[in-house]
Amino acid sequence: MSSALRIFVPVKRVIDFAVKVRVNPAKTDVDRNVKHSMNPFDEIAVEEAVRIKEKDPKTEVVAISCGSAKAQETLRTALAMGADRAVHVEVKDDSTLQPLAVAKLLQAFANKEEKKPDLFILGKQAIDDDSNQTGQMLAGLLNWPQTTFASKVDIENQSLKVTREIDGGLETISTKMPAIITTDLRLNEPRYASLPNIMKAKKKPLVKITPEDLGVDITPRLQTLKVEEPAKRQGGRKVENVDELLDKLKNEAKVL
Amino acid sequence: MLANTARIALKTRHAATLSRFYATGANGANTLLVVEHKDGKITGATLNALTAASKLGGEVTALVAGGDDAVAQAVAKCAGVNKVLTAADAAYSKNLPEDMAPLVAEIQKKYNFTHLFAGHTAVGKNVMPRVAALLDVAPVSDITAVEGEDTFVRPIYAGNAIATVKSSDPIKIVTVRGTAFEAAAAEGGNGAIEAAPEAAKANLTEWIGEEIQKSDRPDLATASRVISGGRGMKNGENFKLLYDLADKMGAAVGASRAAVDAGFVDNSLQVGQTGKIVAPELYIAVGISGAIQHLAGMKDSKTIVAINKDGDAPIFQVADYGLEADLFQAVPEMTEKL
């Protein structure tokens, strides 16, 4: 039997994927007064960590979220899915928290923990800022290998074989731990937390720390000058039949 | 000399637009373009990123890593490339970020570029943020417009909002959305080729192999025509109707999340917020209602066609041409008449 793994899973609270976001009247941000939930790619990350734990129950899964007080809801969801404990890095205004700062917070946390992580499993991107940066930056800061956009993960002892989604197909990489994995949509189908597990999650440990505790400067490097609605499409024209459709595509839109 | 004159001419031509830029220095931009190539060819996204980099108005140096001389020579001929740096070691040919990022960081330390550009592709997304971490810079992902030397436009919330962001970092690390910029001309340039400085190899990862889908159909993300099916297809077998039409049109096939979740097709075909973002010339949505998550992945398509028997489906609100009909009759009829 291999030695027990310790897996850190960073999760982010974002506007729910089914919500139609709207730009605020001041055009500085979107309206955040809407339903939030765990970033879908992070659910996949938690699920993967929990599946690893199910194969080897000695595995410890630690969920981490950087954000405002409400990030704790997201951490409770991760605990209800099967994470063992949670860490909340509390910041006042999570709308200005950027991937570089999050990567530095995670790096500082990993270095500070007495028991070092073997793996970080992150979502490939958050569906709010769509940056797709944090995992790669964390790997760079720690000088660990990175296996991004993972659709299959095989672990044996301290070795890792990951199949990655690349343009046009798949690629397989092998590496040693400690390492970073970022999840793609195909990796797994996340479970729903059952009611008993949601109740149990309320008793699991959740500690709160601050960026100051970790000694990390989270000043944003990117300033958002404005946020606008995308251009509206002029849709809505209907055609009568296939012949008219093909005629319009050939002669009007000239795309056939 | 010739290159210099051309640069001055370019600068003069851009003077009017440059005046509204937030100037970062008297010398203007000096950009490194990280070239992506595969099987001896420059990837299309690199040529789009070159166009975006050229909008900064300064010099563009291209990095070709992986030891492919033919690619380096082809890049040197691209319009807008002033110089090509080559890192000949074949260790770079698999684009492993653990080796690529230190190389780019080493080059940056020697040449002091103001901007590092690459395509927002699987490779660009993998390598550039790691480079940014090594240089302590916040990168800007997936830009759709260049507003100035430090100001860029990028979609957020899967394209449901458009943000204009200004970087306060001394180096701007940017990945470019290919569909938002024309490809640069592969001819007309005359860049000098020189060797890049050596960088230490990390040897952290091993490339095992790849499985590239050998389909005659074009790649979904870059296809100029896409036909997608939704829940209305009813089952996986019926997707053959779409494959037949796609083959007639030289189109790629996609799907809505509903079709993927129902198991009709593989996840890799999903178009939408959590799947692929496409912007083809022609997008045909078949049996797709048009949920916001799906629209997020295709609403920048040039021409959108909807085929759906529900005349009230939201997809008709964004479709340039909507055909209210039973797809099981309309699609075979289209295939036959093309």
In this structure, the answer to whether residues B35 and B172 fall within a common structural domain is yes
For residue A76, give the CATH number of its domain. Answer: 3.40.50.620
The proportion of chain B whose per-residue pLDDT surpasses 90, expressed as a percent, equals: 76
- Same domain for B190 and B232? no
Residues B238-265 have a mean pLDDT of 95
Burial label for A212, CB within 10 Å (0-12, 13-18, 19+), is exposed
Q: How many CB pairs under 8 A join A and B?
A: 253
- Count of domains observed in chain B: 2
Cis bond upstream, residue A99 (ω within 30): no
In a domain? residue B26: no
Domain co-membership, B128 together with B80: yes
Q: Which residue in this structure is represented by tokens 């373009």?
A: B33
- Using DSSP, state whether B194 is helix, strand or coil: strand
**Number of independent structural domains in chain A:** 1
Whether residue A167 is contained in a domain is answered as: yes
pLDDT at B2 > cutoff 60: no
For residue A141, is pLDDT > 90? yes
Q: Is residue B236 part of a domain?
A: yes
Give yes or no for B119 touching A (CB within 8 A). Answer: no
Asked, for residue A253, whether it belongs to a domain, the answer is no
The boundaries of the domain holding residue A142 are: 6-225
Instruction: Identify the pLDDT of residue B27.
Output: 56
Q: What is the pLDDT of residues B79-98, one digit of tens each?
A: 999 999 999 998 899 999 99
Closest-CA distance, B14 to chain A, in angstroms, reads: 23
- Same domain, yes or no, for B240 and B122? no
**CA B260 vs CA B176, B239, B318: distances in Å:** 28, 12, 22
Residue B20 lies in a domain: no
Q: A98 in a domain, yes or no?
A: yes
Q: Is the pLDDT of residue A148 over 70?
A: yes
> What is the mean predicted confidence (pLDDT) over B172-182?
93
- What would the 3-class secondary structure string for chain A be? CCCCCEEEEECCEEECCCCCCCECCCCCCECCCCCEEECHHHHHHHHHHHHHHHHCCCCEEEEEEEECCCHHHHHHHHHHHCCCEEEEEECCCHHHCCHHHHHHHHHHHHHHCCCCCCEEEEECCCCCCCCCCHHHHHHHHHCCCEEEEEEEEEEECCEEEEEEEECCEEEEEEEECCEEEEECCCCCCCCCCCHHHHHHHCCCCEEEECHHHHCCCCCCCEEEEEEECCCCCCCCCEECCHHHHHHHHHHHCCCC
Residue range A60-77: mean pLDDT, rounded: 98
* pLDDT band at residue B127 under the 50/70/90 scheme: very high
Q: Are residues B243 and B326 in the same domain?
A: yes
Together in a domain, B106 and B185:
yes
Mark whether B188 and B239 lie in a shared domain: no
Residues B189 and B297 in one domain: no
Residue B186's domain comprises 31-195
pLDDT band for A2, please (50, 70, 90 cuts): low
Between A35-39, B11-15, B60-64, B186-190, the lowest mean confidence (pLDDT) is in B11-15
- B-chain CB neighbours of A256 within 8 Å are 249, 282, 338
Tokens of A125: 């991107």
pLDDT band at A76 (very low <50, low <70, confident <90, very high): very high
Interface of A with B in 7-26 (CB under 8 A): 15, 17-18, 20-21, 23
Q: What are phi and psi of A183, to 5 degrees?
A: -95, 140
Chain B residues whose beta carbon lies within 8 Å of the beta carbon of residue A173: 96, 205-208
Look up the CATH number of the domain holding residue B272: 3.40.50.1220
Are B77 and B140 in a shared domain? yes
Lowest mean pLDDT among A92-96, A198-202, B323-327: A92-96
